[in-house]
Amino acid sequence: MAHELEMVNGQAQMAYRESKGLPWHGLGTPVTDDMTPQEMMKAAGLDWEVEESECFARWKGDVVATGQKALIRSTDGKVLTQVGKGWNPVQNADAFDFFTEFVSSGDMQMDTAGSLKDGRLVWALADVREGFELFGGDEVKGYLLFSNPHIYGKSIDIKFVMERVVCNNTLAVALNEKNQPSVRVNHRSVFDPASVKEILGIGHNKIEEFKNAAEFLGSKRYTDEKLTEFFGVVFGKSTKEKETLARTAKEAMSIVENQPGYEYAPGTWWNAYNAVTYMTDHNLGRSADSRMASAWFGGNAKRKVDALTTALDMADVVTLNSPRWKWKFKKLGQVLCGQCLLLLTLLGATLAAILPDRSASRIDPVEAIGQ
């Protein structure tokens, strides 16, 4: 089976915390729970540097500079990518040093690390030692994911992800614009770990906000009509029949009531959202590690964010046309009409009492007696 995990001399370039269990593909190097970030980097085979070399081209028998440079792996001379001269590669050692302060203080624990796409995408995942439990047993844990791409056009991405333990789904943390769950650093700027930590807030408020969103989704029930609309938005409609769901949307919809953990909040938007994460993490893609690559770094990472925001929006909509709400508005109208009638009656009685008195006050008593 083809893997997106990089293989060097038959060895997967990945390390994982042994106490957590064997990864989905059964590959990689197991490590102990007390690994430092630097030890994790070495165990994953990532202790190499990115070297830069100017690029040249032949033109009419001459060798001319192209104005670009190649990023080359120090251990084997492999060309990772070609970039412009303003590109600033971030070394793997610097990426792993980002975690050192937090691991040393006990705030985080290294979980996995590895490389994808022939070494062009290096990642490290750390357990932030925080999480929560929902609905009497649905456990969710928080992680910080650092991706360091040696690919032209790709930025460093540092973000919080959540894992639903019952099914190993990774959940997107979608927050408002002022409190982003991730930080992207363009390679044309200089990577400053201190400023990144400040922006992220290493932040445990992100986890609290996600918990509030999850509890809200678990308190709102979906209708069949809205559920169909939700999966149509997330996965799209059929290209042949515009009114029907795409195949993946139908498959995801069938997962809702059959997924692990459904019993914790049955019939709610929490399970609708988790059907999407289950689909992206376990069903879509050519292989398990290609699914992981897409779910963490590719198109399905964005799909998860879109699914969460869509579920929150749909769960927050009051269906005014439902029989329940029609009855409530009818009763409200009856009450308001009764109150209006009472007010009109009181106003009429008051006017009837005031107007004759005002007319009488204008009559001259002497003239009235004479008449």
Tokens of 228: 């169909």
Does the pLDDT value for residue 109 go beyond 60?
yes
* Cα dihedral 310, 316, 320, 321 in deg (nearest 10): 40
Cite the DSSP H helix spans in the chain: 37-43, 92-97, 100-104, 193-200, 204-218, 224-235, 247-255, 269-278, 288-297, 299-315, 323-361, 365-370
Round to whole Å and give the CA distance between 90 and 79. Answer: 16
Give the C-alpha distances (Å, rounded to integers) separating 22 from 15, 17, 239, 316, 342.
Answer: 10, 9, 40, 40, 74
174 vs 264, residue with greater confidence? 264
Give dist(CA 177, CA 282) in Å, integer: 30
Query: Reduced to 3 states, what is the DSSP secondary structure of residue 94?
Result: helix
Residue 298: pLDDT band with limits 50, 70, 90: confident
Rounded to an integer, what distance in angstroms lies between the CA atom of residue 244 and that of residue 9? 48
Q: What burial letters (b/e) apply to 19-32, b meaning 16+ CB within 10 Å? A: eeeebebebbbebe
Q: List, for residues 3-27, the tens digit of each pLDDT value.
A: 678 888 888 899 999 998 877 667 7
Give the pLDDT confidence of 55-74 residue by residue, as tens digits.
999 998 899 999 999 999 99
Burial of 130 (0-12, 13-18, 19+ CB in 10 A): middle
For the stretch 325-330, contacts whose Cβ atoms lie closer than 8 Å and that sit 24 or more positions apart, written own/partner, are none
Distance CA 59, CA 170 (A): 50
Residue 286 has pLDDT above 80, yes or no: no
Give yes or no for a contact between 124 and 35, defined as CB atoms under 8 angstroms apart: no
Picking from 105, 90, 81, the residue whose alpha carbon sits closest to that of residue 46 is 90
Question: In the prediction, which pLDDT does 26 show?
Answer: 73
142-to-42, 72, 238, 305, 357 alpha-carbon distances in Å: 24, 34, 36, 16, 78
The whole-number pLDDT of residue 285 equals: 74
The C-alpha R_g of the chain, in whole angstroms, comes to: 32
Three-state DSSP class for 133?
A: strand
| pLDDT band for position 194 (cuts 50, 70, 90) | confident
Across 139-152, average pLDDT? 92
Confidence category of residue 261, pLDDT binned at 50, 70, 90? very high
More confident residue, 20 or 44: 44
Both tokens of 87, joined, read 């590109």
50 or 153, which is more confident: 50
Query: Residue 332: pLDDT above 50?
Result: no
Task: Return the minimum-mean-pLDDT range out of 262-266, 320-324, 363-367.
Answer: 320-324
Q: How confident is the model at residue 176 (pLDDT cuts 50, 70, 90)?
A: very low
| pLDDT of the residue at 317 | 73
pLDDT confidence of residue 56:
93
- Is residue 113 helix, strand or coil? strand
Backbone phi and psi for residue 57, each to the nearest 5 degrees, phi listed first: -140, 155
Rounded Cα–Cα distance for residues 147 and 46 (Å): 13
Mean predicted confidence (pLDDT) in 266-294: 87
Nearest residue to 191 via CA among 240, 229, 155, 159: 155
Question: pLDDT by residue (tens digit) across 209-240?
Answer: 899 999 999 999 999 999 999 999 999 876 56
What is the reported pLDDT for 31?
94
Map residue 330 onto helix, strand or coil: helix
Counting residues of the chain whose pLDDT is more than 90, the rounded percentage is: 46
Task: Tell me what the pLDDT averaged over the chain comes to.
Answer: 81
343 vs 89, higher pLDDT = 89
User: For residues 38-54, b (16+ Cβ closer than 10 Å) or e, as one string?
Assistant: bbbbbbbbbebebeeee
